[in-house]
Chains A and B, each alone.
Chain A
Amino acid sequence: MDAFMQFIFSGLTVGAVYALVALGFTIIYNASDVVNFAQGEFVMLGGMITVFAFDAGLPLPLAAAIAIVITAGIGVALNKFAIEPARGAPVVTLIIITIGASILIRGASQVVFDKQLHRLPAFSGDDPIHVLGATLLPQSLWVIGGAIGIFIALWLFFTRTLLGKAVLATANNRLAAQLVGINTGFVMTLSFALSAAIGALAGVLVTPITLVSYDVGVGLALKGFAAAMLGGMGNPKGALAGGLLLGLFEALTAGYISSQYKEAVAFIVILAVLFVMPQGLFGAKKTERV
């Protein structure tokens, strides 16, 4: 029982990390149908900038705020200088642009920062919390809380605000959105800023647990993407559920079956889910236009 609880805590911690990355994918995807492969780099930037600002003597909250603002700015720049000029290009071309952007950001980071691993102090100390015979670090609660908080914010944004609906409308039919008076250019800028900011916030939250270096983005994006697809791309509910489930699969597999093949089991589960539900757990069924 103690062991089981420990596996669950581990799964929730890791799953919340995945969920945070997955949530970052949703806005850009909803606005443009593009899965942004540079999303992992946004997470990395959030962590790296915070570490360097913090080491330079700034208080942690201020360092984190700076990291989020700068990363959001980079997101806007990515849209302005790479995505906007390629408007009308096939989606696969836009995806390659985001892959190029991820290589570029990684390359720039290794020059601007360094290639070392870095860590932030945990926000609320390192004393483990004992629950039901298992232990949990306070930072895990920050990460889990962060994932849930961002989920709620996104959910409210898409369902309760005019702006959120405008984002969805833009994705659905750009021309029609323009016709009803939506400034689609602004919507795109906003989506990239928000996605980048969410990524950066994720980076700040997870760095005390996962550590950060210039090249952690690829691995995070891979897991985040898988989690988002498991839940159903574009749906914040799917991103949260997909992330947590993926983390739990991995932890339980490591605990009860084999730590060597835990990721294999996770991917087999994803494949199995997609066979039964081709749009993921919460994905909307889209019909092809002829």
Chain B
Amino acid sequence: MSANSKWVQLAVLAGIMLVLPVFFPSGYYYRVGALVYVNALSVIGLVILIGYAGQISLGHAGFAGIGAYACALAPVHLGIHPALAVLLGAVISGVLAILIGRPILRLKGYYLAVATLGFGILVSMVLSNERGLTGGPDGMAVPDLGLRQVLRGMGLKLSGGEFWYIANALVLLVAIWIALNLFHSATGRAMRALHGSETAARTVGIDVARYKLQAFVISAVYASVAGSLLALQNGFITPDVAGFMHSVEMVTMAVLGGVGSVLGATLGAAILTLLPQVLTVLADYEQLVLGLIMILVMIFLPLGLLPSIAARIRWRGV
């Protein structure tokens, strides 16, 4: 992947984002599109952690929860603007990632998985139990970002769905740009080296702990911002956002799309966001078919959708 192809990828994606709404028959499609982008955002964070650095996490929904509740709580209790709350959430998530990342990133494989899982559960438990602050399992309202009103004042009238479609698309493009840059940087190369073999990376003098931690912190910030955006566009948030199932969903999206590939992750997020919407026609059989599709994709495209397909195209010499 050359630096050139980075801009090609971004341009193609931006083009698709721009053209898609032409085919939207109703406002509901903006909502689904916006969800795809916000999910893709957190999944790209996981690409950096899992795909680049080779570290697993089953607790990243915890960071999404922190981002989400920062947007719900900070404007009310600290009186800051919701946009600043997004930043505050990202900072808290980042700092927390440093604090817990140091000890738990020494763990490997499933042990790391269970440690991150524990972290995620602790976050969702606090959000669920501290009823006085968070409204408990029933959730709480999130203040409006207010940007739509500003745009309206400038003569640009957007529906909620349209606004969030555009906003999430822009944030996602920036996030992808950062991720692609990271991939080509010295840091990215070091991360990928330790993915290959930690021992080998250490032998050639790579500070393994430091790069693992960087990947962990970056992915935490991605998840946190995604959680914030989700909270702001829903206007209401419950501890489900930090739940174990949400963590599993994020990892599944990443692996399904292709965990080493930024665009693959976006594709994975798109498919797992769209599938439940398409499968509603199956009513009671929805879950059954969803599980079946996941299994089939992984059997026939074991590296994930995009990398597997790309490999086949290359194989045919196209």
Contact = CB atoms under 8 A, between A and B. Distances in A.
Assess A/B contact in the complex (Cβ within 8 A).
yes
Interface of A: 35, 82, 85-86, 88-90, 92-97, 99-108, 110-111, 218, 222, 225-226, 229, 233, 260-261, 263-264, 267-268, 270-271, 274-275, 278-280, 283, 288, 290
Interface stretch (B30-38, B64-72, B197-205, B211-219): B197-205
Contacts of A90: 302-303
B114 A105 contact: no
List of 6 A-B pairs having minimum Cβ-Cβ separation, nearest first:
A107-B287, A104-B291, A100-B294, A107-B288, A89-B302, A103-B291
A99 B287 contact: no
Nearest to B284: A111
Interface stretch (B11-19, B82-90, B104-112, B182-190): B104-112
Given A35-B110, A92-B255, A260-B129, A107 B286 contact: yes
A82 B300 CA distance: 10
Contacts of A226: 114, 117-118
26 contacts: A89-B302, A92-B259, A93-B255, A93-B298, A96-B298, A100-B292, A102-B291, A104-B287, A104-B288, A104-B294, A105-B291, A107-B285, A107-B286, A107-B291, A108-B288, A110-B287, A111-B284, A233-B110, A264-B121, A264-B126, A270-B115, A274-B107, A275-B106, A288-B197, A290-B197, A290-B199
A117 to B, nearest CB: 18
Contacts of A274: 104, 107, 111, 114-115
Interface stretch (B173-181, B221-229, B244-252): B244-252
Contacts of B103: 271, 275
Contact of A106 (B118, B248, B287): B287
A105 B294 CA distance: 13
A201 to B, nearest CB: 24
Given A97-B295, A100-B292, A274-B115, 4 more contacts: A92-B50, A110-B284, A280-B111, A290-B200
Contacts of A261: 125, 129
Interface residues of B, number: 49
A97 B114 contact: no
Interface centre among A86, A96, A226 (most CB of B within 10 A): A96
A271 B252 contact: no
A278 B50 contact: no
Contacts of B121: 263-264, 267
Interface in B20-56: 50, 56
A279 B112 CA distance: 10
A86 B297 CA distance: 10
B302 A93 contact: yes
Interface in B94-144: 103-104, 106-108, 110-111, 113-115, 117-119, 121-122, 125-126, 129
Nearest to A288: B199
Most buried by A among B121, B125, B294: B294
B298 A278 contact: no
Nearest to A35: B110
B191 interface: no
B247 to A, nearest CB: 11
B86 to A, nearest CB: 27
A225 B114 contact: yes
A192 to B, nearest CB: 14
B3 interface: no
B289 interface: yes
Contacts of A105: 291
A206 B50 CA distance: 36
Contact of B298 (A86, A108, A288, A290): A86
Contacts of B284: 110-111
Contacts of A108: 288
A222 B271 CA distance: 26
A86 B299 contact: yes
Contacts of B113: 229
Contacts of A290: 197, 199-200
Contact of B287 (A103, A233, A275): A103
B290 A107 contact: yes
B256 interface: yes
A49 B63 CA distance: 39
A278 B295 contact: no
A279 B114 CA distance: 11
Contacts of A278: 106-108, 111
Contacts of B288: 104, 107-108, 111
A279 B103 CA distance: 14
A93 B298 CA distance: 6
A104 B292 contact: yes
Contacts of B104: 271, 274-275
Nearest to A112: B288
Contacts of B117: 222, 225-226
B290 A103 contact: yes
B118 A100 contact: no
Nearest to A96: B255
Interface in B58-83: none
Nearest to B196: A290
